[in-house]
Structure 1
Amino acid sequence: MTPQPTSVPANNTNCSETPYKEWIITVVPIYILLITALGIVFNVFVLVVFWFHKKPCTVAEIYLSNLAAADLVLVSCLPFWAVNVSNNFRWPFGQFLCKVVSLGISMNAYCSIYFLVLVSIDRYVALVHAMSFGRMRSSKDAKLGCVMVWGLGLLLSIPTLIYREVKTECNTCSISSQNASVYKLFQGLLTMFIFIIPISVISYCTVKIIQALNNRLQERSNKRRRERKATSLVLAVVLAFLICWLPYHLFGIVDMLENPNQPSVNPAVLGICLQIFTYLAFFNSVLNPILYVIIGDNFRKKVKELSTQWSSGVTFSMVSLRSNTSTTTVRR
C-alpha cells in the first residue's frame, strides 16, 4: 500500500460531509506546504553537492543521491495534495494530474525503499565480504542498479496509473469503486514486493553490518574508519526510513485486510491513523538531507570543498575580469 491523496470513503454517499476531523482540513495543508518548501531546498542542496563536487561519487553516494532525487519527486507532487486536502478532498486539477501526481508519489515510495536496499547491500558487502566481493562494488554497476530501480518503481506504479481517476460523484481523486477489488489484489501483491521483501533484506544486512562493526572496533586504519563513518550514515538513513514509513505500511496492511461489511477497526479511527502516518512518512523526505549534514562527515567535507571550489572560481573570474579591463585601458 502506498500513500495517495485520500478521499472520502466509498460508503460515504454525502459529498458535503467529511469523515475527517476539521484540523486535518485546516492544519495539514500548511504542514504539507512546509514539508514541500524544506524538502525542495534540502534535496536540491544534496544533489548539487553530489553532482558538482570535483571528485566522483562513491557507490553509497550514488545510491543516496538517487534517494534524494526520489524525495525531490515526492515533495514536488505535494502542493497538489495540499490543495486537495484544503478543498475537503475534492480534486480540482483534472484527470491527467490525478494520475500523474499519484504516479509520482507511488514511485517515491517504491524507489526509496529499493535504493535503501541497494545501499544496505553495498555496506554489507563492504564490511562483511570486502575480500571476496569488494571488487564488485563499481560505480558503473551502481548506476545500472539505480536505473533498474527507477524502472521497477515505474513498473510497480502502473496499477496506480491505470485505476486512479477522478470520481464524478464527489470529484475525488481515488480508485473507482468498480476497480477497487482488482486494485486491492494488486496492493496485496505489492505489499510483498515493497514492504516484506525489502524490509527483510534491509534487516538482514543491518544485523550483519552491526556485527561486523562490533568486531572491528579495535581496527585503527583510515580505510576502516571511513567505512565505519559511511556505514553510520547509512544506518541512520535506514532507521529514519523505518520510523517514518513502518507505521504507515502496518496500518495499510490492516486497512487492506479489513472487511468493509464487518470492520474490526472503526473506519474513522483507521482513516485518521492512516492520514497521520502518511504525513509522518512524508517527513522522511526532509529528514534525510538533515542526516547527511549531521552524521555524514564525508558529505560535510564535500560541502566545504565545493564551497572552496566555487569561491576560487569566482575569485579567478573576478581577477581575470580586472586584468582584461586593465589591459583594455592601457591599450586605449
Structure 2
Amino acid sequence: MMNMDVVVGGILDPNNNNTYDFNYSDYMYEEDTETRASKAVFIPVLYSVELVIGFLGNGLLLAVLAQKRRSWSISDTFILNLSVADILLLATLPFRAAQATQQCGWCFWGFLCKICGAVFNINFYCGIFLLVCISLDRYLSIVHATQLYSQKKPRLAHISCLSVWLVSLILTIPHWIFLEATKDECVHSYTDWKLASRLLHHTLGFLLPAVTLIICCSCILLQLKRSAEGLQKQRAIMVILPLVVAFFLCWMPYNITLIVDTIMNSAKKPDIVLSGNPQRSLKKALMVTSGLGCMHACLRPLLYLGLCGNFRKRTLAMLKRTTVESESSLWELGVGEEAPPDQSREEQEAMTSVDHQMPSSQC
C-alpha cells in the first residue's frame, strides 16, 4: 500500500526547498506597486508639461484672435473651436495628474470622473471632425475648383462647428452614463452597452474620419503634383498636412490600444492572474497612450507658430506692444478664402513677351 503521508509531506514539508506557493497576492502586490510607482512619476510630469505649454500656447492664440476680432475669417472660426476644445482638455489634466500620484483610487467626486472622461473624448472628436471640415474645404477648392465655405456667407462654417460640438456630445453620452469612480480609478464597468459605444467610437469617431482625411490629403497632394497650382494653395496644404500628421501621431497609439482592448474584452474570457497578464499590460498601455494623446493640446499652438508666418508676426508684435498691419490670412489655411486664379502658360508667355517688347518700343 502506497504511503500517502510521504507524498503529502514532500509537498507541504516546511523544510523542503521545492515547495510550491499558489498564492498570487504577492505578485499582484508587487505588480500594483510597480504600476503605481511609474504612474506617480511619469504621468504627472507629462501632464504638468502639457498643462503649462498648452495654457501658454492657447492663451497666446486666443489673445491674437481677440485682437483680430474686427476682421474675422472662416479660418479663425475653426481655429477658435479647436483651441476651445484643447483648453477644456487642459483644464482636466490637474485631476489626472493628481490621480496618478494617489494610492487610494479616484479621490475626487464621482461627477468629476464623468466630466474628465467625457471632456477627453470630446476633445478627440472635435479635433478630428474639425480637421475633416477644413480638409474637405481645401479638397473641393483645389481639386474641384469649388468652395464649401465662403467668407461672404460664414453661416455654414458656424453651423458646421456647432454640428461638430453636438455630434461630439452625443458620442460621449455613454461616458456620462457608464463611467464611475472605483476603488482603483475612474473606469468603465464593462457591459454590452460599453461594447456598443466602443464600436461606435472606432467606426464613426475614428476610422471613418481618418479615412476621409487620408483621401482628401492624398488627392490634394496628387493634384498639386500634376499641375502647377498657386502659391496660396500650396501654403494651405503645407499647413493642413502637418496638423493632420501631428493629430494622428498623438492619437493613433491610443486608438490602436483601445481597439485591442475592445477585442479582448469582447471575447469575455475570465481574467487569469499570471505573470504577463495581457489585461494588466493593456491597462498600462492605455494609461501611457492617453497621456500622449493629450499632448496634442499643447502641440497645436507650436505648429501654428512654426508654420504660419502671419500668426508669428502678429504674436511678436503683440509681445512687443507694437501694431501690425492687418493680414489677409492669419493662419494660411485658405478656408473660405477665394484664391486668385492661376495664370496659364500662354498668359504668362504673353506677359513676358510684352515685358521684353516694352523697353524696345520706348527706345
User: Could you say which TM-score interval applies, normalised by the shorter chain?
Assistant: 0.7 to 0.9
1 CA distance for matches of 2:143 and 2:136? Answer: 10
Contact 1:59 1:122 in 2 (8 A): no
Could you say which residue in structure 1 is the equivalent of 2:297? Answer: 285
**Retained in 2: the 8 A contact 1:53–1:306?**
no
Who is 2:334 aligned against? Answer: none
8 A contact 1:230–1:298 mirrored in 2: no
1:81-128 superposed Cα distances (whole Å, 9 cap, x missing partner): 111111147111111211122221121111111011111112112211
Question: What is the identity, as a one-letter code, of the residue corresponding to 2:211?
Answer: S
Aligned to 2:192, which of 162, 181, 205? 181
CA 126–303 in structure 1, closer or farther in 2 if over 3 Å, else same: farther
8 Å contact kept, 2:74–2:149: no
- Matched residue of 1:20: which SS? helix
1:134, distance to aligned residue in structure 2 (A): 5.9
Change (3 A) 1:265 1:51: farther
Say if 1:97 and 1:135 are closer, same or farther in 2 by CA, change over 3 A.
Answer: closer
In structure 2, the partner of 1:210 is 221
Question: What are the within-5 Å matches in structure 2 for residues 71-82 of structure 1?
Answer: 71-82=86-97
> Partner of 2:231 in structure 1?
225
Which of 240, 251, 254 is the equivalent residue of 2:260? 254
Aligned-partner Cα distance in 1 for 2:203–2:82: 21
Q: CA RMSD in A?
A: 2.8
1:99-248 aligned within 5 A = 99-130=114-145, 132-133=146-147, 136=150, 138-167=153-182, 170=183, 172-176=185-189, 180-216=191-227, 218-219=228-229, 224-248=230-254
Amino acid corresponding to residue 92 of structure 1 in structure 2? C
Taking the aligned partners of 1:108 and 1:18, their CA distance within structure 2 comes to 31
Structure 2 counterpart of 1:105, one-letter code: F
Conserved? CA contact 1:32–1:78, under 8 Å: yes
Instruction: Give the equivalent residue in structure 2 for 1:267.
Output: 279
CA 1:254–1:209: 2 relative to 1, 3 Å = same
TM-score relative to the length of structure 2: 0.72
For 1:293, give the aligned amino acid. L
Shift of 1:241: 0.4
2-structure distance, mates of 1:89, 1:184: 28
Within the alignment, does 1:28 sit opposite 2:43 as a pair? yes
Question: Percent sequence identity over matched residues?
Answer: 26
Between the aligned partners of 2:205 and 2:104, the Cα distance in structure 1 is: 26
Structure 2 unaligned regions, length at least 5:
1-26, 325-363
Counterpart CA distance in 2 for 1:195 and 1:265 is 28
Number of residues of Structure 1 aligned to a counterpart in Structure 2: 291
* Greater gyration radius: 2
Partner Cα separation in structure 1 for residue 277 and residue 128 of structure 2 = 28
Matched position secondary structure for 1:261: coil
Residue identity opposite 1:273 in structure 2: A
Q: 1:290 to 1:160 in 2, by over 3 A?
A: same
Bigger shift: residues 68-77 or 83-92 = 83-92
User: Judging changes above 3 Å, is the alpha-carbon distance between structure 1 residues 254 and 297 closer, same or farther for their aligned structure 2 residues?
Assistant: same
The structure carrying a bigger helix percent of its residues is 1
1:261 corresponds to which letter in structure 2?
K
Aligned residue for 1:90? 105
Q: Compare 87-96 and 227-236 and name the one that shifted more.
A: 87-96
Task: Give 1:272's aligned amino acid.
Answer: K
Deviation at 1:304, TM superposition (A): 4.8
Q: Alpha-carbon deviations, 1:219-257, whole Å to 9, x = none?
A: 5xxxx2223212211111000001111111111101101
2:356 aligned residue: none
Does 2:33 align with 1:40? no
Counterpart CA distance in 1 for 2:185 and 2:285 is 20
Q: Give 1:173's aligned amino acid.
A: C
Unaligned runs of 5+ in 1: 1-11, 314-332
Deviations for 1:54-75, whole angstroms, at most 9, x for unmatched residues? 5534323322221121111111
- 1:276 corresponds to which residue? 288
Instruction: Check conservation: 2:65, 2:76, Cα contact below 8 A.
Output: yes
Question: Deviation string for 1:19-60 (max 9, x for gaps)?
Answer: 726222222112211111111111121122123215534323
Aligned residue for 2:80? Answer: 65
TM-score by length of 1: 0.79
Task: Please tell me whether the aligned partners of residues 178 and 189 of structure 2 are also in contact (alpha carbons under 8 angstroms).
Answer: yes
Q: How far, CA to CA, are the matches of 2:318 and 2:137 in structure 1? A: 26
For 1:311, what is the secondary structure of its paired residue?
coil
